[in-house]
Structure 1
Amino acid sequence: MKLVYKNVDREGGGDIGLIPEEPEDMWHAYNLISEGDSVRASTVRKVQTESTTGSSSSSRVRTMLTISVENIDFDTQACMLRLKGRNIEENQYVKMGAYHTLDLELNRKFSLRKPEWDSVALERVDMACDPTQSADVAAIIMQDGLAHVCLITSSMTLVRAKIDVSIPRKRKGFVQQHEKGLAKFYDTVIQAILRHINFDVVKCVLVASPGFVRDQFFDYMIQMAIKTDNKVLLENRSKFMLVHSSSGFKHSLQEILQDTGVISKIADTKAAGEVKVLDAFYTTLQCEPAKAFYGKRHVEKASAAQAIETLLITDSLFRCSNVPLRKEYVQLVDSVREAGGDVKIFSSMHLSGEQLEQLTGVAAILRFPMPELDEDSDESDTEE
């Protein structure tokens, strides 16, 4: 998703201009647009004109239209988003208040205005527009003197840096020149890794090369990290995976991603991370039931006591048409984060998100046991 402009005032109102560039961006748009928002985009309208002789002809014209959204239809197979609502701005082809549908299209700008942009919606915009927020896997494809640093999201691969350094050949009596050139090349690659890879998000870094280049580079990187006390590289060294590739060019990425060992390692990305958290919740629910709760009422009480260590919540709850209810969920997310808790927003398009929806869509793993929450539910059951 490309961010064109962002006009959000201190009160949280305003509009944001976006261009969807990938089918996946339509999913982000679906999660951003709510009933009552206004969307401005270009659309095709059939217009009938009557000549002086009385004969009529129809033509299709493209026009900019702003509608107040009343209905949102998302086709998951075609990744298409269709919005229906009333026209709220003067237009020469469409009357004020007339119903119209808008189809959001790839590579075509649309503007979204909300009465209030909450923290979850703004976070979704940042995630959609910054591929580093969703890129779970990074890859460094290299050979002597050439390296590509790439980020791999669920739908695209981005080359963030290309490093091309000429390394003098090994010649009798001139070995130092070769080693200096090699060290300069490795240093440049390390700087590119630190600049472009967000280790808070990335779960796996593939280092691929023909021969022993990857092994020599990795050994050099760890030695330099120890020498300079680079905690980022030292703490994340387990995320690096050394694999074979036929060259240091970008097209070698395809063969790397087909490697069975790489596939199993890449499985530990965002979707698999959600499964892990859900498993941890089920395990806690079985072994320590006073530290795991689900349902809005129980989770809100635990949040009020600042007891939540991890909050599990599905993105479908932020798409509800009930605005006050949506605000309550946003406040829950904000309060857990303010208390130092971790928030995992599950995608309802993944199996783990569907499972969480069966548990009311909101659950929590607590820092300490709260058996009184169980007692509360027992009391409410007896009262009923």
Structure 2
Amino acid sequence: MRILGKDGSSGEVKVLPETDDDIWHLYNVICVGDLVTASTTRRDEKADDKLRAERAEKKRMTLGVRVEKIEYDGDGLRMRLLGVIEEGPQDIGQHHTLMIEPGEPLRIGKEHWKQTQMDRLETAARDTVKPRIVFVSLDQDEATVAVLRQSGLKEVVTVRSMRAGKQYDEKGKPFDYHGEIISKLSAVATPDMPLVLLGPGFEKETLADDIKRLPKGTFGSVYVQHTGQSGMVGVNELIKSGMGAAILRESSVGVEMEAVENLMTQIGKNGLATYGPAEVASASEAGAVETLLVLDSVLREKDLDDVVRAVENQKGRVIVVSEDHDAGRQLASLGGVGAILRYAV
């Protein structure tokens, strides 16, 4: 994400989303009622009714749309903003849909910017340069490829070894389990992405040896980690356990999962923790919050700026947790807000 400009008088911020993760950040910033201005396509109003009925050619133009509905595609990682045109060369007062995708700048106008929303944009601008992380969680029977994005942990594909069944491909050749995994990895991994191989047994080490024989630069740094289970369960186990490699600890999702795990541990032993909006607000007023954890969907729906400012003024830490991974779902079960405390209140 690049922040291209801020206009305090109009309440507008101009940004350029550069990655699909940036679309997720914008989903957490843009609200119903905002005026969003972006380049889009729309049919020419000068065409007569007959031509419009015959699907006249669309032209590119810049339109400002007052947002009435937001649709986010978590798999495709793009966003649709539906609303009424308020600014532009034509069709003022009519409905239109803006498609928000990487590489296209847009202006976001709000009557009031929450501090947490500006913080989200600035965090996105800082984190754009951080590489994603690709996991292969495997055993002798199957391998799961997953990608750790800022927006959460996403399963990409599962490859079965065929060792217990059909061992030949459609052309009658022996099925190459590791070759198939590497083929799937080539579609999602780039040389700047760390690659983590994990699971029980020795299959991960054998795959690591095969990857090392590939041309230099095919993939990024390769880390091999042992877990008790394979699949997505194994990936979550690895992240919760401390993640071994330093680069995993630096990822935003890794930080979130560790923080929620710490919160759940403190709650489980009746320690220095509290949860729920009212309880956390009370603790923040008392200056007792060391780490505040807030679910991203709660920040979209509620104004928690006062709580966030109180924690930050007391030198506390604020972590926004994605709802798209296990830790987010755990925090959601606690009301979407939790806090690790300096002392009991």
TM range (shorter): 0.5 to 0.7
Which residue number corresponds to residue 93 of structure 2? 97
Of the three residues 90, 102, 112, the one matched with 2:108 is: 112
Of the three residues 279, 285, 288, the one matched with 1:298 is: 279
| Structure 1 position 361 matched with structure 2 position 336 | yes
| Structure 1 position 310 matched with structure 2 position 291 | yes
- SS of residue paired to 2:44: strand
Which of 1 and 2 has greater Rg?
1
- The whole-number CA distance in structure 1 between the counterparts of 2:50 and 2:253 is 63
Which residue number corresponds to residue 165 of structure 2? none
Q: CA deviation at 1:272?
A: 2.4
- The whole-number CA distance in structure 1 between the counterparts of 2:252 and 2:49 is 60
Of the three residues 37, 40, 63, the one matched with 2:37 is: 40
- The whole-number CA distance in structure 1 between the counterparts of 2:40 and 2:114 is 28
- The whole-number CA distance in structure 2 between the counterparts of 1:133 and 1:343 is 21
Q: Which runs of 4+ in 1 moved over 3 A?
A: 131-137, 250-253, 258-264
| Structure 1 position 21 matched with structure 2 position 18 | yes
Q: CA deviation at 1:346?
A: 0.7
- The whole-number CA distance in structure 2 between the counterparts of 1:361 and 1:57 is 46
Gapped regions of structure 1 (runs ≥ 5) = 138-152, 156-205, 207-244, 321-325, 371-384
- The whole-number CA distance in structure 1 between the counterparts of 2:132 and 2:49 is 60
Amino acid at match of 1:41: A
Q: CA deviation at 1:133?
A: 7.8
Q: Percent identity?
A: 29
Which residue number corresponds to residue 74 of structure 1? 72
Q: CA deviation at 1:34?
A: 0.8
Q: What value does the CA root-mean-square deviation take over the aligned residues?
A: 3.2
- The whole-number CA distance in structure 1 between the counterparts of 2:281 and 2:220 is 48
Which residue number corresponds to residue 222 of structure 1? none
Conservation of the 8 A alpha-carbon contact between 1:311 and 1:343? yes
- SS of residue paired to 1:107: coil
- SS of residue paired to 1:81: strand
Q: Kindly tell me: are residues 46 and 56 of structure 1, through their superposed partners in 2, closer, same or farther at Cα, counting changes over 3 Å?
A: same
Which residue number corresponds to residue 6 of structure 1? 6
Conservation of the 8 A alpha-carbon contact between 1:136 and 1:270? no
Amino acid at match of 1:355: Q
Q: CA deviation at 1:367?
A: 1.2
- SS of residue paired to 1:363: strand
Q: Which has the higher helix share?
A: 1
| Structure 1 position 88 matched with structure 2 position 53 | no
- The whole-number CA distance in structure 1 between the counterparts of 2:258 and 2:42 is 48
Q: Normalising by the residue count of structure 1, what TM-score does the alignment of the two structures yield?
A: 0.58
Q: How does 1:1-384 map to 2 (within 5 A)?
A: 1-9=1-9, 14-47=11-44, 49-50=47-48, 58-92=56-90, 94=91, 96-131=92-127, 154=149, 252=217, 254=219, 256-257=221-222, 259-260=224-225, 264-265=244-245, 266-268=247-249, 269-289=251-271, 291-320=272-301, 326-327=302-303, 329-370=304-345
Amino acid at match of 2:252: K
- The whole-number CA distance in structure 2 between the counterparts of 1:301 and 1:6 is 34
Q: Kindly tell me: are residues 52 and 27 of structure 1, through their superposed partners in 2, closer, same or farther at Cα, counting changes over 3 Å?
A: closer
Q: Normalising by the residue count of structure 2, what TM-score does the alignment of the two structures yield?
A: 0.65
Q: CA deviation at 1:287?
A: 2.1
Q: CA deviation at 1:43?
A: 1.4
- SS of residue paired to 2:87: coil
- SS of residue paired to 2:221: helix
- The whole-number CA distance in structure 2 between the counterparts of 1:133 and 1:58 is 42
Amino acid at match of 1:104: I
